[in-house]
Structure 1
């Protein structure tokens, strides 16, 4: 079935002859048969539609492995668990395991890895990516399933997970808030402003975003339940969330009149989510104020929030640069590594666009965690 067919059928069956944008985005990305993330085609890298930090170079995974290793050692965790949510190709997990095997063989041998991935295609890629690593491995198709089964001591990590949640789009009008719904006309899929759905209304009532008329914002209604399930999964340890996003006061700002929704199709970015349903990525910036507050309600305490460049620099990324005398940038492994480090901390690129939030649960020692130190900046 073509994605557009499934979407049109649901619209035709709806009493309103329209569906909220959040449902449209859910179908476009996660329809079991034809959703973007569920189909057997590359999404990440040159053959896909976008790049992630993990796809740039293994040095990102090496640095993240050092981060979680610091967390385990600072708190005497001798049988750690590493959970990755929405790990895609498995590249980040592989690179982290490569580093842990080399730098901490004792903890590596005692390690359990849990991967939570909705896409059967991506689960297969992950299994292949870490096949050579002889650690305990378990897969779950949903966070809810994992939280109902496991109670872990260790670290829960995600990189570009929350930004792919379906979002409600609401617009402030002269008469109040209205929500974007999607209809199917002869010319294709179209937007219409209609009544706000209960989930979006509940968010607006609680958070009271203060924006002028004509401004659109996205509401990630699934984050609250996700925070509840992350907290249930984690008995003691840390949650590390890396994603596009901002605090609410910056995210819901009049300068972002049309919101933050973006689409990525064959490495071209655009803001029309109806061009290639089921064939492109659709994302929206994460409201880190809400993510922090939802976590706090469930016992997750915010430890740090900063840009990716600052987090990686504090975590020792620059120390991974390699001195060399190479001249050919096309064949030099050292030059490629050093270029990747620059790319990961570029304030106009990945370094400035991504945010890192760290939360903790339980009585934990934080003093020796490098990303909390100001030493680098003195």
Structure 2
């Protein structure tokens, strides 16, 4: 998976753009950026309006999210937008956005990792009659065979976070994702880190895993040959614990539906009276309601997990009462 995504000629290393292969909240509507702009304002106030507010997008794709936030956020020149991405910088991106292959060492502000952790490579393990064994894959064909037992560190992670119960059960070892998230928290001197991804919890792990591939907008077999995106859902609860150990002072696990509703995206249809008094305003409001509805759809993007962790400040009041909602 590491080679297929990030090695020489790998899917992301060669510059494939996410929007060409799958749809994220960023691609769905600029209202996702508007909601994050509200969150930025909350964090900025909690930090006391620092001289420099770092906005770091880890796994930035083509930089669309930062560009959209720049269009709706004004911190008086204090905003420092940083895109973290292994792909080359896209043409036409605002010169105000820094383009880096790794996050800054010192961050004060907000870190966003929207569908990043699902692309941090995982090993797949299957429980066999001889115990758990790594699944070995032929990168030319996708054919699988049982491999060696997982490393001691991986076995410990599995026992804690994804215990296998029946022969044939599979898990995706998230230890490296936990380490990746912890590395973000260690860089955060003050502010908030947000991970957004398809997720699952310890008591509800999928018995056969979630590993899949995407190419040209379609799900495909995750053959690790560099021809497709390879992704797997994230054990955000395990990442949350790694974040705490790395210095997070407060934590919230919720859903995108609950969080975006708290940030003002309701998906409610505008009053019909507006159609009579101001038809153009009604159409704008109707479009916004439709876009909000997609972002908070509990069977779609709204089911994404949100892991919110802070360093040196409390959780924003606007989010503290969010609960995963139906």
**In structure 2, distance between residues paired with 1:98 and 1:205:** 46
Partner SS for 2:50:
coil
Give 1:346's match in structure 2, choosing from 297, 307, 321. 297
Structure 1 position 193 matched with structure 2 position 161: no
Structure 1 position 291 matched with structure 2 position 239: yes
Aligned residue-pair number: 317
Please name the residue that 2:222 is paired with.
273
Give 2:63's match in structure 1, choosing from 86, 90, 97. 90
**In structure 1, distance between residues paired with 2:285 and 2:84:** 33
Please name the residue that 1:234 is paired with.
188
Partner SS for 1:155:
strand
Shift of 1:320: 9.3
CA change 1:94–1:248 in 2 (3 A) is: same
Shift of 1:221: 3.0
Shift of 1:365: 4.0
Please name the residue that 2:6 is paired with.
30
**In structure 2, distance between residues paired with 1:49 and 1:82:** 26
CA change 1:204–1:97 in 2 (3 A) is: same
**In structure 1, distance between residues paired with 2:306 and 2:207:** 25
Partner SS for 1:227:
helix
**In structure 2, distance between residues paired with 1:340 and 1:208:** 35
Please name the residue that 1:308 is paired with.
256
Where structure 2 has 5 or more consecutive residues not aligned to the other structure, the ranges are none
| TM-score where L is the length of structure 1 | 0.76
Shift of 1:205: 5.2
Structure 1 position 224 matched with structure 2 position 178: yes
Segment of structure 1 superposing worse, 195-204 or 302-311: 195-204
**In structure 2, distance between residues paired with 1:76 and 1:217:** 43
> What RMSD over aligned residues (CA atoms) do the two structures have, in Å?
2.8
Shift of 1:351: 0.5
Q: How does 1:32-181 map to 2 (within 5 A)?
A: 32=8, 34-44=9-19, 48-79=20-51, 80-101=53-74, 107-120=75-88, 123-124=89-90, 128-131=92-95, 134=96, 137-143=97-103, 146-147=104-105, 151-181=106-136
Shift of 1:184: 6.4
Partner SS for 1:213:
coil
Please name the residue that 1:182 is paired with.
137
- Contact map agreement 2:267 2:291 (CA 8 A) in 1: no
- Contact map agreement 1:160 1:243 (CA 8 A) in 2: yes
| TM-score where L is the length of structure 2 | 0.88
Please name the residue that 2:317 is paired with.
369
- Deviation string 1:233-287 (CA, Å, 9 cap, x unpaired) is 1111111111111222222xxxx332111211222224x212x832221110111
Shift of 1:100: 0.7
- Contact map agreement 2:21 2:218 (CA 8 A) in 1: yes
- Contact map agreement 1:171 1:216 (CA 8 A) in 2: yes
**In structure 2, distance between residues paired with 1:82 and 1:40:** 23
- Contact map agreement 1:85 1:157 (CA 8 A) in 2: yes
Partner SS for 1:318:
coil
Where structure 1 has 5 or more consecutive residues not aligned to the other structure, the ranges are 1-24, 102-106
- Contact map agreement 1:315 1:370 (CA 8 A) in 2: yes
- Deviation string 1:78-137 (CA, Å, 9 cap, x unpaired) is 332111101102111111111113xxxxx24111122211111xx225xx3334xx5xx4
Shift of 1:220: 2.4
**In structure 1, distance between residues paired with 2:114 and 2:130:** 39
CA change 1:171–1:41 in 2 (3 A) is: closer
Higher helix share: 1
**In structure 1, distance between residues paired with 2:31 and 2:117:** 23
